[in-house]
Amino acid sequence: MDWVQPDQKDQTFQGRGRHGSMIARSPLFEEYQAGHVMIGPSLLAADFRYLAREIERLEAAGARFLHLDIMDGHFVPNLSFGIPIVQAVRKATRLILDVHLMISNPEAHIERFREAGADYLTVHIEVAPDPRPLFEMIHRTGACAGVSLNPPTPVEAVIPYLNDCELVLVMSVMPGFGGQSFRPEVLPKIRRLRQLAPDGLMISVDGGVNGQTIGQCAEAGATMFIVGTGLLGHDNYSQRYRELAALVKDHQSKVAL
Ligand code: DX5
Ligand code: ZN
C-alpha cells in the first residue's frame, strides 16, 4: 500500500494525526465508505485442502477482504498457520488481507508478514500495553495497523491509541479457537468505541459472529464483521454472505451512524 504525503492524500481519508508527516490510506475504510458491507471471512474455518478454491468462492460471494488468524501456541493456547500460508493466500487473491496476530512477540514478525502480503496487521493490547512503537513499525512497512482487545480487557486500555491506528478489533470470544459462542458483554465496548472513534477508524468484531449475533454487532456500531464458522460452516457461501449482509444493513439502518 502506498504512503502519501498529507497534501497528496486521498480526499476520502483524512488521516488522523499519526506520528510524523506520513499518512496511510486505509483501503478497508475506503471500501466501507463506498457502501460495502464489510464481512470478513476468517480463513481459519476454511478447508485447507482446497484453499485457493475456498478463496475463489468467498470472493465470488462478495467478500471485500479476508481475515487471517495467526496463533503462536503461547499468547493463545493453539497454533494455526504462519507466513507461508499468508504468502499463498496473497498469490491466490487481490483481496485486502487483514492479518490478526495472536502472538506474544509481534515485533519479531511484523516485517515478514508484511512482505508475505498482509495489508493490515493487528496486534493485541495485552502484549503491548503501549502499542505505538508497533504501529510505527507497521506503518513503516506500508501496512495499516490495528489493535485488538480480549473480552476481559477493558476498553479504556485502547482508548489512548485510537488516533494512531486504522482498526480496532474487539474480540467477542477468548482468542484461540473458531466456533465459540459470542459474548454479548462485549457489546458496550463496541458502543463506546463507536462514540469515540475518530473518522476513518474501523471497528471490527471477531468471534462467534453469525446470523444470530451479527445484527447486535451492527447495531452497537461495528463496521467490520469477522465470520468464520458462521459463513464457512455453510454450503452456499453466496447465499449465506447475502443473508449476513442483509442483517447488517437492516440493523445499521436502525441506528444513526
Ligand atoms: C478466534 C479468531 C477468530 C475465529 C472466528 O481466535 O480470532 O477470527 O476464526 O471464528 P468464528 O467465527 O467461528 O468464531
Ligand atoms: Zn481473528
Ligand nearest to the CA of 45: 1
Residues with CB under 6 A from ligand 1: 42, 44-45, 67, 69, 100, 173, 175-180, 206-209, 226-230
Tell me the C-alpha to C-alpha distance, in Å, between residue 116 and each of 82, 107, 122, 134, 136.
10, 15, 15, 18, 19
Marked catalytic residue, from 2, 69, 72, 130 = 69
pLDDT reported for residue 19: 43
pLDDT reported for residue 256: 57
pTM for the model: 0.92
Average pLDDT over residues 186-201: 97
Q: What is the pLDDT of residues 162-177, one digit of tens each?
A: 999 999 999 999 999 9
Residue nearest to atom 1 of ligand 1 (CA): 175
Task: Give binding residues for a divalent metal cation as ranges.
Answer: 67, 69, 100, 206
CA of 162 to the centre of ligand 1 (A): 23
Residue nearest to atom 4 of ligand 1 (CA): 178
Q: What is the pLDDT of residues 220-238, one digit of tens each?
A: 999 999 999 999 999 999 9
145-170 as b/e: b if 16+ CB within 10 A: bbbbbbeebebeebeebbebbbbbbb
pLDDT reported for residue 5: 34
Task: Give the residue, out of 72, 102, 206, 227, with the most ligand 1 atoms within 8 A of its beta carbon, to mutate for a pocket test.
Answer: 206
Longest dimension (CA), the chain: 47
Is the pLDDT at 11 greater than 50? The verdict is no
Spatial contact of 25 and 1, defined as CB atoms under 8 Å apart: yes
What does the mean pLDDT of the chain come to? Answer: 92
pLDDT reported for residue 24: 56
Q: What is the pLDDT of residues 49-85, one digit of tens each?
A: 999 999 999 999 999 999 999 999 999 999 999 999 9
Average pLDDT over residues 112-134: 98
Q: What is the pLDDT of residues 137-147, one digit of tens each?
A: 999 999 999 99
Query: 22-252 adopts what CATH topology?
Result: TIM Barrel (3.20.20)
Q: What is the pLDDT of residues 87-100, one digit of tens each?
A: 999 999 999 999 99
Which pLDDT band, with edges at 50, 70 and 90, does 1 fall under?
very low
How do beta strands 23-24 and 3-4 pair?
antiparallel
Spatial contact of 118 and 96, defined as CB atoms under 8 Å apart: no
Higher pLDDT, 172 or 12: 172
pLDDT reported for residue 253: 78
Is the pLDDT at 35 greater than 50? The verdict is yes
Average pLDDT over residues 18-38: 79
